[in-house]
Amino acid sequence: MRILMFGNPMPGHVLPMLPLARALRQQGQVVAFATSVHMAGLIEPDGFPLIAAGPTTEAVIAEVTRRSGGGTPAHRPTEFVGQFFAGARVDLGLDEALAGARAWEPDLIVSEHCDFVGPLVASVLKVPSVVMAIDPALEPDVLHALAETVRPRYLARGLQAPAHAPSGDVLLDLCPPSLQRDGALPDLARKALRPEPHRAPDGTPPAPRAAGSGRPRVLVGFSTAPGAAPRLGPVLESLGTLDVDLVATSGGVPADPLALDQERVELVTFVPAAELLDGVSVVVHHGGSGTTFGTAARGVPAVVVPGTAGQQRQANRLQASGAGLALPIGEQEPEAVTAAVRRLLEEPAFTTAAHRLRDEIAAMPSATEVAARLVASAGA
């Protein structure tokens, strides 16, 4: 079976798809990805072909801004999300995606839930479509905006438009039940899929880690997107007042000034989360689903410092589970981060709840199991 996977050209949207892609390939299927060529660095090390399809994220943002008359899209978040994912990106990338897909001849298309190019390609080519929900369910008004925005793109091609978003023959849900919003997803054939921390390609040895000092290790994994989280340097300086070792992902962004004991701080640019999480007692992160689910899968409590309303809602769900603390937007001073980390280190109830969440995730079907079921249901 030939399976083509579609995703927005952002690491947080592509990386969660890799475990299923690897499992499908291990079971003898032929797998390729269709997204912007700028994702080659994430996809090609695994040996998956990349079909260049669509613009960069920056180009889509520029197009949405142009269509809105140069206004600031952030002032209309629901409209912006609809136009970004289901409008401008579809318009700018569909023709290239269709040409690539026709040449590649897929038997099945798998798309992450914010990708609206893949399902439309599947409708044009009349092949089965699977959607992966890589985040908790989006808000009803956002889902409505996405469905309404993509609707004329189907009708213009003589196709029946989906009644809701996401749409497809099967919905794979990576969100652990404890973090999901009940009743928020459409009535599709829904299958759970265990989320996994991102790991290096098969056969790639893990990066060597420094020997343990006996102190707790705290991982700080903020997004480097503008406004997504506080500046890294001041947070690390504050955390340095605790008797801990620090590992921080800087994304290549300088973390100065750092008045820190360099023997207790390790700065990395990009290391797979599966390696970074080894031996970690607490994680501080911005609340993206990949980090949230991956940290939970390892049973590590987290302090979440969200930068968007969606991340805040997800952070609140994690706090409600008992597996971490959420710092409200606007109340994220470095001292508040440090106080929250201290609580997670000193109060064992947080780790106990994180272990419960880990066990819940472990009970979800693995990528290997889901891959076998997908192929079987497709009649391969």
Q: What pLDDT digit, counting tens, does each position of 276-315 carry?
A: 898 999 999 988 888 899 999 999 999 999 887 778 888 9
Per domain, the residue ranges of the chain are 2-195+365-377, 217-362
pLDDT of 8 > 80? The answer is yes
pLDDT of residue 269: 75
CATH of domain 2-195+365-377: 3.40.50.2000
DSSP single-letter state for residue 305: -
Q: Which residues contact 133 (CB under 8 A, 6 or more apart)?
A: 113, 166, 171, 172, 173, 174, 175, 185
pLDDT of 223 > 70? The answer is no
pLDDT of 323 > 80? The answer is yes
φ, ψ (nearest 5 deg) of residue 95: -60, -45
Q: Considering only CA atoms, which of 129, 196, 200, 202 is closest in space to residue 365?
A: 196
Q: What pLDDT digit, counting tens, does each position of 106-138 carry?
A: 999 999 999 999 999 999 999 999 999 998 888
Average pLDDT of the residues of the chain: 88
Q: Do domains 2-195+365-377 and 217-362 have the same CATH topology?
A: yes
pLDDT of 6 > 50? The answer is yes
Give the integer Cα–Cα distance in Å for 56 and 10: 9
pLDDT of residue 226: 44
pLDDT of 153 > 50? The answer is yes
Q: What pLDDT digit, counting tens, does each position of 31-86 carry?
A: 999 999 999 999 999 999 999 999 999 999 999 988 887 665 555 788 889 999 99
Please give the CATH topology (third level) of the domain spanning 217-362: Rossmann fold (3.40.50)
Burial of 181 (0-12, 13-18, 19+ CB in 10 A): middle
pLDDT band at 205 (very low <50, low <70, confident <90, very high): low
Give the integer Cα–Cα distance in Å for 274 and 295: 9
Q: What pLDDT digit, counting tens, does each position of 248-260 carry?
A: 886 555 445 455 6
User: 18-22, 100-104, 186-190, 314-318: lowest mean pLDDT where?
Assistant: 186-190
Residue type, 75: H
φ, ψ (nearest 5 deg) of residue 91: -65, -40
Residue type, 8: N
- Share above pLDDT 90 across residues of the chain, in percent, rounded to a whole number: 63
Q: Considering only CA atoms, which of 134, 131, 129, 90 is closest in space to residue 106?
A: 129
